[in-house]
Amino acid sequence: MDWGPREGPVVIAWHGLARTSRDMDELAAYFSERGFRVICPDTIGRGLSQWSPAPDEEYQLSFYTRIAAALCDELKLTRVHWVGTSMGGAIGLVCAGGLVEPAMKGRIASLVLNDTAPQIAEAAVERIRSYAGQPPAFDTVVELEAFFRTVYKPYGWLSDAQWRRLTETSTRRLPDGRVMPHYDPAMVRQFSAHPDDYVLWPHYDAVEAPLLCLRGVESDLVLPETLDEMRRRGPGAKGRLQIIEIPGCGHAPALNVPAHLEPIEAFIRAAGT
């Protein structure tokens, strides 16, 4: 999805592990109305993007980073503000560190991590794997919406219309007529094929762009001790880190209300171009 004026400063908004670009609709509408161009990709294996023919090789952060670099090359983007939820934030962190794609380091003007960090809690990873690795199928979209309302309750408040849109933009119909979440279940093999893929401290330490970390107060993915470590090293030690805890949310804030979006806007505007 490509929102807003083509000549505006660019925000790349990248979704979470088992989600799609349409999760970023509220953020994209908010920023595009303020003169930004907002680009929201579907990661390989999610939404309307193809599924990987080589899941053990391609469902990993380094491959996603190469896709991000190719996207910037194709669209001729030289400077971007990156907002990433969960996996999308991890991709941004690898991009901004420049250890995989050196050219991306200079392209990242600012980085927002939405409830992710250079290290994530193993118990939370297991929880996510438990529902993402074997997505259930339902007879009706209404039943699928009830499932989403349960597993994504930590997102915080969503209106009924937003829950319905989340569901309708995350639905894949099977040959037998049932519906299920719109992603490749094999994408969770990232955690077995690449068990240390989300241990990102070397990338974090290499980040030079200003960094904002949003944490849902009830998050089980980003632990307080991880935030303490972030403050001690990398951007934190250089005065380039801000941390904001978002009440009423766990993993991860939905980025759909002014209380989530206004701090991001202030951070991006302070970072400049």
Pairing relationship of beta strands 179-181 and 80-85 according to DSSP bridges = unpaired
Q: What is the mean pLDDT of residues 62-81?
A: 98
Which 3 state secondary structure label does DSSP give 55?
Answer: helix
How confident is the model at residue 129, as a pLDDT?
A: 79
* Ramachandran class of 46: left when φ > 0, alpha when ψ lies in -120 to 50, beta otherwise: beta
Tens-place pLDDT, residues 9-39: 999 999 999 999 999 999 999 999 999 999 9
Strand positions, DSSP E, 160-256: 171-173, 179-181, 211-216, 241-246
Distance of alpha carbon 59 from alpha carbon 65, whole angstroms: 11
Q: How far apart are CA 68 and CA 98, in angstroms?
A: 12
Radius of gyration of the chain (CA): 17
What the block records as the tokens of 253 is: 């804030």
Q: At what angle do helices 160-168 and 141-151 cross, to 10 degrees?
A: 110
Whether the per-residue pLDDT at 131 is higher than 80: the answer is: no
pLDDT value at 273 more than 80? no
What pLDDT digit, counting tens, does each position of 132-190 carry?
888 999 999 999 999 999 999 999 999 999 999 999 999 999 999 999 999 999 999 99
Tokens of 173: 């119909």
Identify the structural domains of the chain with CATH numbers, from first to last.
Answer: 2-121+197-271 (3.40.50.1820)
User: What are the structure tokens assigned to 116, written together?
Assistant: 């992710």
Stretch 227-252: mean pLDDT: 97
Task: Using pLDDT thresholds of 50, 70 and 90, give the confidence band for residue 272.
Answer: confident
